[in-house]
Structure 1
Amino acid sequence: MTWMIIRLVLSLAFIAAVLWFAARVAHKRGIGQGSGLIEVVARQRMGRASSVSVVRIAGRVLVVGSTEEQVTLLAEVDGDVVEEAIAERRAAFAQPVPAGAPGVLAGSVFDRTGWTAFVAQLRERTVRR
């Protein structure tokens, strides 16, 4: 039993070492990294096969729509406006939500108050009188 645990730990250590070595080699050769020229700032899916993306390319910020067949330039946006919008969104998510206030999940499947009300209604219907 002890020998099996030792073999397991040694096997995991060997796999971790191989992955670490492969990551270093890939980083040195630039495999898996972009050139740094193109950065996807934000992406929003619009349907099963379509999305709108905000892309920064060499200092220019472009809004592009993409489907399975094509990519279309929708607009060019000022970079400062995009940075301000991102900063506002991060600040909104960083603020704690006070107890009892509707949060980000309000109205969704993950909303606790919605499930609490649903369970209360089920209890009301199933209580024997």
Structure 2
Amino acid sequence: MSDSISLGELAVRLVGSLALVVGLLLLIARFANRRFKAPAGAAIQVVQRQTLGRGQGVAVVSVGTRILVLGTTEQQITLLAEVEPDEVGLDLTPPDPESEPIDVPSTAASPTGALSGSVLSPQTWKDAMAAVTGKRAS
């Protein structure tokens, strides 16, 4: 009797191992996203960040009702400008609790978070499935 493994059994083990690794990566990404994400009602929030080069970038930050454009390097942060919320397309007025929520399609919503747009982002997979099936992503 030989101890050989059939090709089908090997394929099942490979797929199972791959699913386990991808599942662990998604779990780690979810916890990392929660840890580094600012609370919803935080006074200071990074609205947008753009890398310009190694260790250099520009960040748009909301502080209360003020919008600041900051230049960032590895050594310092410099205030470049203060802009009006409508100049960057922000609405800083608190939502009316009496109004109904607005349904915004996911393609129009701007994704946020460290994983947005990456293969590890759940929204990326939802958008991909919506494109394949022709249904709208939630």
Give me the TM-score of the superposition, normalised by structure 1: 0.47
Task: Return the structure number with greater relative CO, CA threshold 8 A, min gap 6.
Answer: 2
The structure richer in helix per residue is: 1
Give me the TM-score of the superposition, normalised by structure 2: 0.44
Higher radius of gyration, 1 or 2: 1
